[in-house]
Structure formats: C-alpha cells, structure tokens
Structure 1
Amino acid sequence: MTDPTAELPAMIDWGLAVALGSRIAGEGPVVSPTEAADAVAELRAGADRSTGLVRDFTGLDAPEGTAPILVVDRPGWVQANAEGFAVATRPMVEKILEAKKPSGIGMRVGSKITGAEVGGLLGFLASKVLGQFDPFHEPHGRLLLVAPNIVHVERELHVDPHDFRLWVCLHEETHRVQFTAVPWMREHLFSEIQAIADSVEPTTLLEGGVERIVEAIKEGRRGGSIIDMFSTPEQRQVIDRVTGMMSLLEGHADVVMDDVGPTVIPSVAEIRKKFTKRRQGVGTLDRILRRLLGLEAKLAQYRDGALFVRAVVDKVGMEEFNAVWAGPENLPSKAELSDPEGWVRRVLG
C-alpha cells in the first residue's frame, strides 16, 4: 500500500496491520459469484439513487464527480482505514519524533508491536462496519460500502435484502453529501485532530504505555474506553467539540434514512426495529470490546444527534436547520445536543 507517512520513520508497520487485520476480519458470509455480483451492483445503484433522495429531503446539494463510491470486501475496508489511520495519526507521530527519535532497532520492534495492535483493532471493526465515509482520502474523501457485512446482517435479521441495502445506502450517502456539500467540514475535522496532537505531551505517550493499556482494559469492563484513558482536560475539550460534530452527522443521517425510508422502502419500520436491537451488541465479549473501543459512545451519538436534529427541524423547519452547515461556529456543542432550544437561540436568534 502507499503509506501517506512514507517520509516519516515508520512508527506503525502498516503492512503488518493490513495483513493481520484482513486475516482477523475473515471473508464474511458464503455467497455465490452471482450473488456477490448482484449485491455489489445493487449497492452501487442504491448509493447513486440515494444522492437525489438525500438532496431533495435535506436541501444539501453535493457537486457531481466528488468523493467516489466504492463497494469493498473486508480486507478492502482494512486497507482503506489503514491509509486513513496513517493520515489521522501523522500529527501525533510528528510530535513524538520532535521530542525523541527512537533508535533504529527500537523503531523496528515498536512498529511491529503497534502494527499488530492496529491490525487487531481494524480486524475487529472490519466485521462490524456496514458503510463509512472516509474523509481522509484525497482530494474530497470517499464512500465505502462493505458488501459482505451488509449481506451478513440482512441474513441475520431476516429482512428484505433489497430494502435493507437501500436503507444502508441512504444513511451512508447522507455522510458523503454532508462532507461534499459542506466544503469546510473536512478541513475542520483535520484541524481538530491537529488540536488534539498539539495538546499532547510526547513523554505521556512514550512512558507507561503498557500499564495504561492494561488499566484501559479494566476500565473497559467498567464502562470506560481507551479514549477516556488517554485524554487530558485540553484534549477532552476538543473531543467534546468533535463529539458534537459527529453526533450531528450521525443523527442527521439517521433522520434521513428513517424519514425518506417510508417513501421508497416498504419494510423500513421492521428494519429499524430489528437493527436498533442489534446495535446493542450480542455477547459479553462483544459488549466489552465495544466499550473499550468507545463504540458505546457512538451508539449515543446516533441517539442524541437524531433527537437534536428532529427537535430543531420540528421547531424551525429544514431550511432554517441548515444554518448548522454555514460554518464551524454553528455546529452544536456537546451540551447543546440535549438543549436544541439553546442552539436555536444561539444560532438563529
């Protein structure tokens, strides 16, 4: 793969991460070549169809020819996210290297360890994710739809596959539209990542790493996450801002998929009921991993963001709600997610 941080010393063995992550993820459900081809074609068509549906409902108009739509398998998702992870971690890597450049052998050994850790994380997530907008891909991002996972879930839930595929496409295409119709969104996300890196003391990352990870696992069993363990007060301020933004994006997409759904997806109510139950995790290990990786917080983002969007739209309408996209200053804070009236007063007067 092409390493976006190739000019930097390799603190993470990305090749190992991709290989291990792909092996852990597996191939997914058994399908015939015809079934696989049909699923890929239907997902591409569903994403294309969703563009107009999202535009008509939200009023957001994404320029054509930006942010390609890719239907991928699990290893393809691992590869894409390793590339994105390399871009996202670059500011942190640069700061660490400014403080202390590890020795050659130390770097090689360390990169294998971190490569294995990242590979394990990607391998676990690769079997869970149905779709994702990747904002780190140049120049405008890209949309990834993970075909084997979508087929697996539609079978597991015993729902109409054609309806379920379009339902997933509606949600994920909304994210593609959000980032391409709102041109400042990507750069704002990148600036927040840089702000987190700027607030980090490199010695904090270089010392006590193993002990802190063990403690994070203990916290994961009690409901905490690795993110909680490694965030300073300054970083938490940035994380709260990012939480507000991501909750808005996730909730907005959920509102689109559920409100547009009934007009084009006959079984949308059944799909939503079954899928919401599935989002909670199915087993003890799955629940622990979700907490440890911060995925429990992501479930809250869907819920809180959707409640915020619905409350504002019900009060002022979609056109007035779209002031949220005017600039970073109009994004809801984490506190405003539970106080939509406060956001309306602040932004709309």
Structure 2
Amino acid sequence: MRTPPIVLDTMHAAFLARAMYVVTRLGIPDLLAGGPMSCADLAGKLRVQPVPLHQVLRSVATTGLLRTEPGAETGPRQRYALTGSGRTLLAGHPSGTAEMVLMMQGELFSKALRALPERVESGRTGPEIAEGLPFFEIMARRPDEARLFNRMMIATHGDEPAAVAQAYDFSGAERIVDVGGGIGALLLEILRRHPRPRGVLFDVADVSDHARKHVAAAGMSRRCEVRSGDFFESVPAGVDLYLLSRILHDWDDDTCVRILRTCAQAMDAGSRLLVVEKVLPDNDEPHLGKRLDLVMAALTHGRERNAAEYGALLARAGLRVERHLATGSASSIVVAMLDRRARPAGGTRGYPH
C-alpha cells in the first residue's frame, strides 16, 4: 500500500508554511506592492541569495499569494507579482495576516511545536519546556511579541466577528462587556452592526493600552469604554451581556470554572453570558477546532471542547445553558444564564444573599 496522500500533503505543508514566513519576514509583499519585480532584483535589495529565494517564491506562488509574470524569464530572472490575497501580507494590513504568519512561524511557536512529543509525555506545555514559563506569562514579559500576538488574533478570528454579530440579536442590549476581549475585534463589529448597545472592552492593562488605540482608530471611543482588570478577580457588574470569546479554550477545566464563576458573580438575573468557541462535533469529521486544538495542546493547558463539556463547566460555575447558536463560521455561541437551582461558592448578584 502506498503512502496516503494526506500524509504527503501534511508533511510538505510544513515546508510551505515556512516559505510563507520567509516571504513575510523579508518584507517581499511590501516590495512587490508597487509592481512586479524579478527574483534577482528582490535578492539584490534584500541582500539574500537569488537561487534559494526563487525556490521559495515559486512555491509560495502555488498558494495564490504571489503569481509568476508571463514571459521568457526563468530561474532568478523570473518576475513575481503580488495578488489580491497576497496584499493581506503587507505590513499593517487590517486583516492581521502578516502578524499571524510571523507569530505562528516564529521562535516561540516553533519551539512549542518541536516540544510536542515531550508535551505528551510530561504534561508540561511547549513554552514551559522551552522557556520555563507558561505562554501567557511569556506574553506579559515580552510586550512587542504580545502586540504581534494580539494583531494575530484578528487573522485567526477571520469571519467570526461578523458571523457572531449576525447570529445573535444584540439590538436589545444596553451594555455589553467583552471579557478578555483583546483589542476588540468582536465587540467593535457588534457595535458597528447594532447602534443601541454601548460596550466595555475588558482586559489586562498591557492589552488595554493597545486596545484604546484600536478603538479610537475605529471611531468607537464614545461607544466603547476600555477598562483594565483581571478576570480571575472581577469583571464589570450588572450588565446585559457578557462575552467570553475564545477565552475558555486557553485554560484547563478548573481555571475555566474560576473565570466563569467570576462572570456569574457579576451577573444579574437578566444577564446572559455568551461563550464563543469552536464547539467540536462528537464524530471524526474534519473541523477547524480540531486543528486549533493541537495549537492549544502545544502552547497551553487549554483545549477545545464539545457541547457537553462546555455545559459541564457552566454547571460547575452556577450557570446553565439556555441555547446553542450556530454561526456562519466555525465558531458557535453557547448562551448561558444564572442557574437558580444552584448557588456556586461566593454567591452571585442574581441570587438572594
């Protein structure tokens, strides 16, 4: 029996991903933004070797990010142009694509991936093995890398913010708190689509400083307040809707329950908590969340979960699932409310004390 094509494709994909990283790190998309250039001219500007650069560019051109220009030129004389898709790799592009490539193919992620065998054997995460610290502690100590990571989140969210904003009716809410909302991709999309609600973007101080600039650039400073804090300690109390978008998948079960209890303690009886995650199917069908689960395994103690697992976490925190909503993306919305049949440790605002 021959090697299955999926094995060949997956092994070769690792090399192609690295080629995208080389193109992005060298700033080749920005050089091509003004028009096609030959590989030799690019190599001269960048002071790199033209032959291996040509091999890299030729491979990346198969993805549709670059294209070879028609003509008699071959080898290092071959001319390359930037495509519409390739423009997402321009520095500062609003999609955050370049930052995703640089971060996911950067040193920390690469070390974590190489450590995956030891991760499985020992239980320690890739960053703990390679750097001696958990991933988010490393981010807290490396502000430049943290900014890259936050910009990368725009790319990894993809069409999710628009899909979530459309799937749930936010029009009746007065105030929405995005807990651990980063620089606000989801919350800002919701506010753009629904003119009534006002938002609170809640995250740690280092992230909030960056978020204020992003909110201002979006023209949303009057409707979106940025507040700093620790969601393990407290979150703004008594608002209509709480968002937890791609937060719980970062953590183990006990830590998730701590976060959920903090939210429950801030909620009123009429509040709703929206957990936005890639809820996994219970069968073997391919799903983006299952690929993302490998990233979580390499970097953190978190994981992707199925519907029953999210329901169990919410129940432990004194919350119950009201409904599940599909979106037009790989992510789903788990809508939760206070469960008056249970009272978690510490009580909640929605319960009599």
Query: Does TM, normalized by the shorter one, top 0.5?
Result: no
Query: Whose strand proportion is higher, 1 or 2?
Result: 2
Structure number with larger C-alpha Rg: 2
Q: TM-score, normalised by structure 1?
A: 0.25
Which structure is higher in RCO with an 8 Å CA cutoff and minimum separation 6?
A: 1
Q: TM-score, normalised by structure 2?
A: 0.25
